[in-house]
Structure 1
Amino acid sequence: MSRRPSRFLLGGRRFSPAASLALAAPFLLLLLVVFLLPLATLLHESLFVPEPGIGNYARALQEPVYLRVMLRTLRIALFVTLLALLLAWPLALLMARSKGLGLALLAAAVLLPLWTSVLVRTYAWMVLLQRNGVVNQMLAQLGLSDQPMRLLYTEGAVVLAMAHVLLPFMVLPIYSALKGIPEDYSRAAQMLGASPWASFREVTWPLCLPGVTSGCLMVFLLALGFFVTPALIGGPQQMMIATLVSQQVREMLDWPFAGALVGILLFFVLMLTLLFRRAVRLDRFVGQA
């Protein structure tokens, strides 16, 4: 018995695989031209310029200055993820328990920063944290500091500003997971004698874990390649790998070495994504079996 080719449903209409591919062709062509082709060219140069081999990669992994930049990038990305999680969890829980106007206001507070340029938000943090900025003036008025503190161009400032910029990418997955948990589950657990902490630990947390892990992965990966905020808030002292790549391309004109840095970062991102898929079964988030 012959099987009919599978068809895809979109907007109430069914499309054959060929028609679906034709509809996706413009996006796939754009992806090929503006992302895959330049990336492949850069990786090719990293392996074959000035001569075939892994010399550029060995240089990146052997010289201490570049290793410090890579380790700093991983450390900052980890701290940003943890801080974003601590800030996002209560907000997502409040959104999940709110309705009507309250939910609309909270959602606007989360989504509105996404409509503002990252550069603008970064400059706002520079105004707040500079030597004569709002934070130092407030500390002086409260009598907590006799002289301006050095807040700008520090690793803490970079972590704080990046966590603020990336916070929506943590809030939304957690809110989606919490919204899908029926309130009867926690109520039933407490009726059976569980304390609020036990109800959270045994019911709420396991059910919202996919949203938490998804948000953490998204924020961590975005933080690894962040450029504008670390460059302005951290300066040369807090250089991350994206800033280093930009320096190699614009100032040193060393495209092969920049390609090696990109290749190392890409390898780490792919490995992390595969580990995440293996650990929590990423297909649950897209509705696949």
Structure 2
Amino acid sequence: MATVEALVAGPITADTVIDQAAPSKRWGRLGLLVPAGLLLIIGFIVPLVIMLWYAFTDPSVGFGNFAWYLGDAVQQRILLRTFTTAVNVTVICLLLGYPYAYAMVAAGPKLRAVLTLLVLVPFWTSLMVRTFAWVILLQDHGPIQSLLATVGLGQIPLIRTNLGVVIGMSQVLLPFFVLPLYAVMTNIDRRLILASSSLGAGPITSFFRIWLPLSLPGVGAGSLIVFISSLGFYVTPALLGSPGNSLISQQIFTQVNGLLQWGRAGTMGVVLIVITLAILAILALVIGRSTSTIKGVR
């Protein structure tokens, strides 16, 4: 009977086998996403929900925590200082990281290996060790102050200042800018530069008309990583800065660990996330319009 039913159903073709195997393959692919999905839920969604819960319910249900935060001039200055510091760190990483990534691409194999090793070494060193090294370098009678005095610049306060925080954070986050930019630069076709030279363009024109626009995706990726990481940085600002120039991460720690104000800490986190998402949305809109304009010109 089974043979008769199979003959009545029609011939078995390759398309039939693929259609029958497609559901199992689809479920198999979805199964591979389960570990990543669980990690996302446990590591991001659940803490975010808890933070939102405390922001609206502790110590009482309502918008009292948001009214306190938005009406406190001190907290507004800290929030502005946090974003200003993040912008400064991003700009410094851009100014230092772009030439470095370009040198990695333009260098020979041996020099490129050395430059890559220098970028990777900080990942093998503890963040605490690197930050304490900056404490020694930036202290009032440290090596940097001695160097400044030698060249005639005098005593410039570095430790326990926002300038010292920016210097330390820039050094820590610089590899996170260089590596994405280097990955993009390695995929740029060098023949485009040779073609522009053959058409009469000089090195500077070729750089600004060809290389720089093609490397902008790497600049954007590295800048976003550095900027977002700077907003939530805690260790380096806590060790190199002072309570007078604290950032929002230090205020959140104080509210939770010192004052046990979980609702206010949650409110700070919510405000920081909302503003960050708004900035990312604006940047995505600007980049999208710029891409559309370039395509229209082409």
TM-score bin (small chain): 0.7 to 0.9
- Provide the rounded CA distance (Å) in 2 between the counterparts of 1:241 and 1:258: 10
Shift of 1:99: 3.0
- Provide the rounded CA distance (Å) in 2 between the counterparts of 1:139 and 1:5: 74
* 3-state SS of paired residue (1:226): coil
Name segments (4+ residues, structure 1) moved above 4 Å. Answer: 1-7
2:182 aligned with 1:183: no
What does residue 144 of structure 1 align with? 152
Shift of 1:50: 2.5
- Provide the rounded CA distance (Å) in 1 between the counterparts of 2:213 and 2:202: 16
Alignment of 1:165-180 (within 5 A): 165-180=172-187
Structure 2 stretches lacking a partner, 5+ long: 1-14, 292-298
Q: 1:91 corresponds to which letter in structure 2?
A: Y
Which of residues 235, 242, 254 is equivalent to 2:261? Answer: 254
1:59-105: per-residue Cα shift (whole Å, max 9, x none)?
11111000000000000000000000000011000001123221111
Contact 1:81 1:163 in 2 (8 A): yes
Shift of 1:114: 1.3
Alignment of 1:11-26 (within 5 A): 16-26=25-35
Shift of 1:18: 2.2
Shift of 1:118: 1.3
1:235-254: per-residue Cα shift (whole Å, max 9, x none)?
21221111110000000100
Structure 1 pair 123–207 and aligned structure 2 pair: CA distance change class (3 A): same
What does residue 36 of structure 1 align with? 45
Which of residues 113, 122, 130 is equivalent to 2:122? Answer: 113
Give the RMSD, CA atoms, in angstroms: 2.3
What does residue 110 of structure 2 align with? 101
Alignment of 1:1-289 (within 5 A): 4=19, 16-140=25-149, 142=150, 144=152, 148-280=155-287
Shift of 1:132: 1.4
Contact 1:153 1:233 in 2 (8 A): yes
Aligned-pair identity (%): 37
- Provide the rounded CA distance (Å) in 2 between the counterparts of 1:237 and 1:91: 34
Q: 1:136 corresponds to which letter in structure 2?
A: Q
Q: How many residues align?
A: 273
1:111-164: per-residue Cα shift (whole Å, max 9, x none)?
110121111111111110101111122334x25256x44211111111111011
Bigger drift between 148-157 and 166-175 goes to 148-157
Shift of 1:182: 1.6
1:187-225: per-residue Cα shift (whole Å, max 9, x none)?
221221222221111101111111101111111000011
- Provide the rounded CA distance (Å) in 1 between the counterparts of 2:235 and 2:280: 24
Contact 1:162 1:229 in 2 (8 A): yes
* 3-state SS of paired residue (2:59): coil
- Provide the rounded CA distance (Å) in 1 between the counterparts of 2:105 and 2:28: 39
Contact 1:5 1:16 in 2 (8 A): no
Greater helix fraction, Structure 1 or Structure 2: 2
Contact 1:190 1:199 in 2 (8 A): yes
TM-score (norm 2): 0.85
- Provide the rounded CA distance (Å) in 1 between the counterparts of 2:128 and 2:269: 23
Q: 2:152 corresponds to which letter in structure 1?
A: L
- Provide the rounded CA distance (Å) in 2 between the counterparts of 1:247 and 1:38: 18
Shift of 1:22: 2.6
Q: Which of the two has higher C-alpha Rg?
A: 2
* 3-state SS of paired residue (2:159): coil
* 3-state SS of paired residue (2:112): helix
Q: 1:16 corresponds to which letter in structure 2?
A: K
Q: 2:182 corresponds to which letter in structure 1?
A: Y
Shift of 1:270: 2.2
Q: 1:234 corresponds to which letter in structure 2?
A: G
Bigger drift between 172-181 and 248-257 goes to 172-181
